Amino acid sequence: MGGTSSVRIALVFPDLLGTYGDRGNVAVLAERLRLRGVDSEVIECNVGDFVPADCDIYMVGGGEDVAQLVAVRHLRRQGTLAAAVERGAVVLAVCAGMQIIGTSFVGTEGVVHGGLGLLDVSTRPMPKRAIGELVVRPTSLFGDELLTGFENHGGCTYLGPDASPLGAVVSGVGNGVNGVDGAVQGRVVGTYLHGPCLARNPRFADKLLTWVTGTELASLSIPEVEALRAERLRAVGVR
Ligand SMILES: NC(=O)CC[C@H](N)C(=O)O
Checking if the pLDDT of 91 tops 90, the result is yes
pLDDT 10s digits, 35-75: 999 999 999 999 999 999 999 999 999 999 999 999 999 99
What does the alpha-carbon distance between residue 118 and residue 197 come to, in Å, rounded to a whole number? 20
pLDDT value for 1:
59
- Terminal CA-to-CA distance of the chain, rounded, Å? 36
What does the alpha-carbon distance between residue 16 and residue 157 come to, in Å, rounded to a whole number? 21
Give the distance from CA 31 to its chain's centroid. 17
Checking if the pLDDT of 156 tops 70, the result is yes
What does the alpha-carbon distance between residue 181 and residue 50 come to, in Å, rounded to a whole number? 30
From the CA of 157, how far away is ligand 1's center (Å)? 11
Nearest atom, ligand 1, residue 67 CA? 7
Give 51's Cβ-side CA count (13 Å radius).
28
Catalytic member of 45, 55, 74, 95: 95
Q: Are strands 104-106 and 112-114 parallel, antiparallel or unpaired?
A: antiparallel
What DSSP character marks residue 31? Answer: H
What does the alpha-carbon distance between residue 228 and residue 87 come to, in Å, rounded to a whole number? 35
Q: Alpha carbon of 10 to those of 54, 58, 81, 134, 170: distances in Å?
A: 9, 5, 10, 26, 31
Q: Which fold has domain 7-235?
A: Rossmann fold (3.40.50)
What does the alpha-carbon distance between residue 38 and residue 127 come to, in Å, rounded to a whole number? 45
Calculate the average pLDDT of the chain. 96
Cβ–Cβ under 8 Å, residues 2 and 54: yes
Whether 63 lines ligand 1, by a CB cut-off of 6 Å, is yes
197 assigned to active site:
no
Whether 60 lines ligand 1, by a CB cut-off of 6 Å, is no
Which of 152, 175, 194 has most ligand 1 atoms within 8 Å of its beta carbon, as the pocket-test mutant?
152
| Reported pTM | 0.97
Whether 62 lines ligand 1, by a CB cut-off of 6 Å, is yes
What percentage of the chain exceeds 70 in pLDDT? 98
pLDDT 10s digits, 200-234: 999 999 999 999 999 999 999 999 999 999 999 99
Q: Whose CA is nearest to atom 3 of ligand 1?
A: 62
pLDDT value for 2:
47
Q: Whose CA is nearest to atom 5 of ligand 1?
A: 96
**DSSP string across 90-118:** EEEEETHHHHHHSSEEE-GGG-EEE---S
Instruction: State yes or no: 200 annotated in a binding site.
Output: no
Which of 153, 177, 191 has most ligand 1 atoms within 8 Å of its beta carbon, as the pocket-test mutant?
153
